[in-house]
């Protein structure tokens, strides 16, 4: 990224779309959480402690950004958003799995997540491992069982499952965490921009790309539109993660709901470490603008996706 200069998106576009974006995000969060409540096992269903841990992790808060990407990508291509709800829930469950495991003492060793004690602090390390495992399985159960129940054709449901499976595997999400651990244990033997980009592409970007692609698939759009949605998801994910890196240095722990300054303590490879804060801010803004330009051909039907991208470099939580 940063290989070419782009004109900045007018501030008026951000302001015009901000209120509708917040309304849609709030609506999405409510709808997704209602659906998740129906899909997750009840707290009193044996083994109760595991199911309590799963519900604790899933309902600990969060913007539900990844489900939003599934639903809005489907909407942007003229699809039926109701058909996309199981997939939106599946990506959130899988995302929560990754957070539960990332927080473990053997990984990032975090005590707080979204302002609450992390899963292993409440239920113990062993139960948190099982919770993450169960959430991962549940994500694909939702895709395999609930998605076809909406009436979506089997080939499309299979493509959605394939897309999420690939994003979660060793080449992408799990691989990014492996690279993150490796960089910490080698004391930054490679501090190059290429290395930090490879980690972020895997840990954050890949799942956001998958969310956008899945929404487009359910909306039955063509491969060209899917590619543009994936490109949008790429730049959006990068803007999100760069901003997250910045906030770990400059943000308020209470607003963020987590301990700040841990990246430096744990010797994580981040954008501010490689580029410095001011250059990182510029790169986050450039990534957001690139995300908007990826949707140029959508002729205004993806305004909220564009507004979301432009809001990311300015977020404080």
State pLDDT tens for residues 248-275.
888 665 665 656 656 666 678 899 999 9
Domain coordinates in residue numbering, the chain: 11-314
Residue 188 has a pLDDT of 53
Residue 265 has a pLDDT of 67
Closest by CA to 70, choosing from 62, 57, 79, is: 79
Residue 254 has a pLDDT of 64
The answer to whether the CB of 121 falls within 8 A of the CB of 68 is no
Q: For 148-193, what is each residue's pLDDT tens digit?
A: 999 999 999 999 999 999 999 999 999 999 998 887 655 555 678 9
Closest by CA to 9, choosing from 230, 242, 312, 241, is: 312
- Going by pLDDT thresholds of 50, 70 and 90, the confidence category of residue 10 is very low
What CATH topology corresponds to 11-314?
Farnesyl Diphosphate Synthase (1.10.600)
- Going by pLDDT thresholds of 50, 70 and 90, the confidence category of residue 6 is very low
Beta bridge partners of 116: 113
Average pLDDT over residues 90-94: 98
The rounded distance, in Å, linking the Cα atoms of 275 and 62 is 28
Q: Which residue has the higher pLDDT, 73 or 16?
A: 73
Whether 218 shows a pLDDT value over 60: the answer reads yes
Positions of E strands within the chain = 112-113, 116-117
Helices 48-58 and 81-102: angle between axes, nearest 10 degrees: 110
**What residues contact residue 265 under an 8 Å CB cut-off, 6+ apart?**
none
């Amino acid at each position: 990224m940063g290989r070419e200069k782009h004109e900045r998106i007018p501030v008026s576009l951000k302001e015009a779309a901000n209120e509708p974006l917040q309304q849609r995000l709030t609506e999405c969060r409510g709808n997704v959480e209602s659906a998740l409540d129906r899909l997750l096992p009840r707290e009193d269903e044996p083994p109760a402690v595991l199911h309590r841990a799963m519900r604790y992790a899933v309902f600990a808060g969060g913007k539900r950004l990844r489900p939003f990407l599934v639903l809005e990508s489907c909407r942007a291509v003229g699809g039926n958003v109701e058909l996309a709800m199981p997939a939106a829930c599946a990506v959130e469950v899988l995302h929560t799995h990754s957070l539960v495991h990332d927080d473990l003492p053997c990984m990032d060793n975090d005590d707080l997540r979204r302002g609450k004690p992390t899963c292993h602090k409440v239920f113990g390390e062993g139960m948190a491992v099982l919770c993450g495992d169960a959430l991962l399985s549940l994500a694909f159960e939702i895709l395999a069982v609930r998605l076809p129940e909406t009436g979506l054709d089997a080939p499309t449901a299979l493509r959605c499952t394939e897309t999420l499976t690939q994003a979660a595997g060793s080449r992408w999400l799990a691989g990014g965490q492996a690279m993150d651990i490796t960089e910490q244990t080698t004391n930054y033997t490679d501090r190059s921009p290429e290395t930090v980009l490879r980690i972020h592409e895997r840990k954050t970007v890949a799942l956001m790309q998958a969310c956008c692609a899945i929404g487009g698939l359910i909306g039955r759009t063509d491969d060209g539109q899917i590619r543009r949605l994936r490109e949008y998801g790429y730049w959006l994910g990068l803007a999100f993660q760069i901003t997250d890196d910045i906030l770990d240095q400059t943000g308020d722990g209470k607003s963020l709901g987590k301990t700040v300054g841990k990246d430096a303590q744990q010797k994580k490879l981040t954008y501010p470490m490689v580029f410095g804060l001011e250059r990182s801010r510029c790169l986050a803004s450039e990534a957001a603008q690139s995300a908007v330009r990826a949707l140029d051909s959508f002729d205004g039907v993806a305004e909220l996706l564009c507004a979301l991208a432009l809001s990311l470099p300015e977020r404080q939580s």
